[in-house]
Homo-oligomer: A and B are copies of this chain.
């Protein structure tokens, strides 16, 4: 990894064009040839970048470039597409390289998959007498998060989200439409379950006869821990 602080201007050409006027920025060159251009604020997204795999070619400035104050030009070329990032460097204020090695990677807990596992284990959260048919029930248009049976033996399709948005209701609607064509399953009703359900999504779901269920991940994890302690 190479870290350069420089006064520079940056141009990107590829899926779109983008230009960064002259200013002082961090240029981060990774081992795979990718380059990130960061300012001293904003979120984790760089101002501009080149995704790996890419190759960095550095050439000394000459002619009119020198007259404009450019000392060096970087061309970062994507190996797979014809995307290009061109960095004109006017002054280098810092330059250091470091060996980092391969990263073991991130371990996550609390994503949708965890929520799904917990809800499947605690299926009666949906209502008394509910039983799990299966998680990730496969259909032609994608997997239904949870398929269950209610106390009356009716089939219930559950769409699970961390944040319940209109998109999720649309997704569940498509699944329900398909599932209800299957005479062995029909009638199938829907439950839209999320940690937080947006008002518009709730209105749309209710309008389509889909039940909404707000989930408390911490409480469900608490039950899970309590269960684990019993065995």
User: Is A55 located at the chain interface by the 8 A CB criterion?
Assistant: no
B residues in contact with A49, CB < 8 Å: 43-44
- Counting chain A residues whose Cβ lies within 8 A of the other chain, the interface size class is 35 or more
Residue of B with least CB distance to A41:
B32
Residue of B with least CB distance to A110:
B16
B residues in contact with A98, CB < 8 Å: 5, 24, 26, 93-94
User: Is A31 located at the chain interface by the 8 A CB criterion?
Assistant: yes
Give Cα distance in the complex from A39 to B36, angstroms: 12
Pairwise interchain contact A41-B52, C-beta atoms closer than 8 A: yes
Stretch from A66-74, A99-107, A146-154 contacting the other chain: A99-107
Pairwise interchain contact A23-B104, C-beta atoms closer than 8 A: yes
Binary contact track A95-126/B, C-beta < 8 Å → 1, others 0 = 01011111111111111000000000000000
User: Is A214 located at the chain interface by the 8 A CB criterion?
Assistant: no
Residue of B with least CB distance to A43:
B51
Task: Quickly give the copy total for this chain.
Answer: 2
If the complex has contacts A39-B103, A109-B17, A111-B16, are A51 and B44 also in contact, measured as CB distance less than 8 A? yes
CB distance from A29 to the nearest CB of B (A): 10
B residues in contact with A105, CB < 8 Å: 20, 47
Give Cα distance in the complex from A6 to B178, angstroms: 53
If the complex has contacts A1-B40, A96-B96, A110-B15, are A101 and B26 also in contact, measured as CB distance less than 8 A? no
Pairwise interchain contact A21-B104, C-beta atoms closer than 8 A: yes
B residues in contact with A18, CB < 8 Å: 106-109
User: Is A141 located at the chain interface by the 8 A CB criterion?
Assistant: yes
B residues in contact with A106, CB < 8 Å: 18-20, 47-48
Q: Can you offer 24 A-B residue contacts whose CB atoms are under 8 A?
A: A1-B26, A3-B3, A15-B162, A16-B110, A17-B109, A18-B106, A19-B106, A20-B104, A21-B104, A24-B98, A24-B100, A26-B28, A28-B38, A30-B38, A30-B41, A31-B40, A34-B43, A39-B100, A40-B102, A43-B49, A44-B45, A44-B51, A93-B98, A167-B167
- In the complex, the 4 A-B pairs of residues with the closest C-beta atoms, listed nearest first: A16-B110, A39-B103, A40-B100, A17-B109
